[in-house]
Amino acid sequence: MRGRSPGMTTTRELRFIPISELRFDPRNPRLPENMDDYSQDGLLTHIAVEYNAIDVAKSIAAHGYFPSEPLIILPDADGWTVLEGNRRLAALKLLSNPEIATQLGIGDDEWDSLIASAQVPDQVPVVIATSRMAVAPIIGYRHISGIEPWDPWAKARFIAHLIDDENLSFEEAANEVGEDKKDVQTHYRNYRIVYQARELFQIPTRRLEQRFGVFTRLMQDKAIQEFLGAPAPRNVKKGKNPLPSTSESNLRKILSWAFGDEQHPPVFTDSRKIADLGRVVSSPEAIKILEITRNLEEAHIAAGGIRDRLITRLSRAKSNLSSAAQDYQHFADDSEVHSLVLECANIIDSMRSDE
């Protein structure tokens, strides 16, 4: 971990606020970007279902609610917005009001059992932040380089927010979240590519956002970077779109091949095949085959991938046999050694008979 340790840039004063006055934060990087106008009930439902608030509820029901980790809040026009602790807030609201789970369609026997057994306080400990930016180091360290990491898309969104909205430099953002500057530039470049795809090229990005970790791996492949015209992380410009406008067609192809589209599934499901896709996009002939067939294996063969693999394997076999020949004379009468030599000879004879 690099950068400075975060201080508690809040009022530091521990207060107790009624659960009913606490509100979910629609700008939480963990939430989808289209949830800014969701109602509080809508946010509660999404957080409870998508982020397993029931796991927190089980802990509260079994052990009570401990004040050792206060929620971090910010005053708003309708009460208090919870900047840190939205999943805990979802569990608390559902446990403290038996009717909510039923009204929102979340309730089931497991929730009913927890609600009946949990002892939930009317008020919970909080620390009041002076601004969103004041607690960015705390949230950044906790969820990016700390003990409760967000998914890759949420991490990238938070970093992009620090750079684009809070006007931090890459180095300053790295210090805020405890990451290396190059890693921050990588997150930022990849986020901006998704933003560019969605906002400028009108490419649907839902699948991409859900599997942003795979996209991160795609962007580590030099051939794919070159195919897209993407800059290396060190050359990313703050507030600038990473890809030239001429990259739209190639970006559509990469995203369709990697994540599928409305008409097609992806051409691979194993991320280890990313290297094969990188080889394919380096060959115009292989690209044409992949466009027509959507068969990555056939395109990879056309790109020379199988031949190169064969040459590598034969070269290794030759080297190993040459080394084995030096020891063979000492064990020529060994039955196991003799059997292995015959198996090697049979394989070679079989290969030569196919010529």
Whether 5 shows a pLDDT value over 60: the answer reads: no
Both tokens of residue 323?
A: 């080394």
Both tokens of residue 260?
A: 């599928």
Name the pLDDT band for 8 (thresholds 50, 70, 90). Answer: very low
The pLDDT tens digits of the residues spanning 20-79 come to 999 999 989 888 877 878 899 999 999 998 888 889 999 888 888 877 778 999 998 888
Nearest to 239 by CA among 201, 195, 176, 177: 195
Residue 262 near residue 241, CB atoms below 8 Å: no
Instruction: Report the distance separating Cα 245 and Cα 275, nearest Å.
Output: 25
CB atoms within 10 A of CB 325: 10
Q: Which residues are CB-contacts of 6 (< 8 A; sequence separation ≥ 6)?
A: 137, 138, 140, 141, 176, 178
The domain spans of the chain are 10-131, 151-266, 305-353
The end-to-end CA distance of the chain, in Å, is 57
Q: Which fold has domain 10-131?
A: 3.90.1530
The pLDDT tens digits of the residues spanning 66-96 come to 777 789 999 988 889 999 999 999 999 999 8
Residue entry with tokens 């208090």: 80
Query: In terms of C-beta density within 10 A (0-12 exposed, 13-18 middle, 19 or more buried), how is residue 121 classed?
Result: middle
